Amino acid sequence: MPTPIPSDLSRPAKDESNQKSREFWLRIQQEFGFKDILTAMSKSALIFVGWPEDQGDQVEMRSSRGSGAHHSAWGTNENFGKVFHASINLSDLEFGEVAVQALDRCQPNYA
């Protein structure tokens, strides 16, 4: 089992990460007019991304479904139209377009 990073070394990074996360969600809350940060955070969609070794340059993106405070994958019998593939060699814009398609097929927490 790997040795954990001592907390005196990891704490500053965690604190900085938490601060940046709060700043991000505050911007989302303000930009989109949510009543508070928790409401903004509950309005989310998520995709699971993997790069299976046997798929060459193809990255797999699976749309998720939200339920309460978490996201889960769809059952294999519900995956039709919710699994996307894109070459890692695409431009950032082209790769992002595929990611947006996958996000569009999500069932967010608020749906």
- Tens digit of each residue's pLDDT (9 = 90 or more) over 9-22: 889 999 999 999 88
Q: Domain check: are 11 and 51 in the same one?
A: no
Inter-residue contact 25 to 40 (CB < 8 Å): yes
52 and 4, same structural domain? no
Residues 52, 33 share a domain: no
Return the DSSP state at 40: H
Considering the domain architecture, whether residues 34 and 73 belong to the same structural domain is answered as no
Residue 39 structural domain: 1-43
pLDDT of amino acid 46: 83
Using CA atoms, how far apart are residues 95 and 30, in angstroms rounded to an integer? 28
Tell me, yes or no, whether 57 and 68 share the same domain. Answer: yes
- d(CA 47, CA 73) in angstroms, rounded, equals 9
User: Considering its fold, how many domains does the chain have in total?
Assistant: 2
On whether both 67 and 111 belong to a single domain, the answer is: yes
Query: Is residue 28 domain-shared with residue 64, that is, in the same domain?
Result: no
Is the model's pLDDT at 87 over the cut of 50? yes
For 109, residues 6+ apart whose C-beta sits below 8 A from its C-beta are 42, 43, 44, 66, 67, 68, 69, 71
More confident residue, 86 or 75: 86
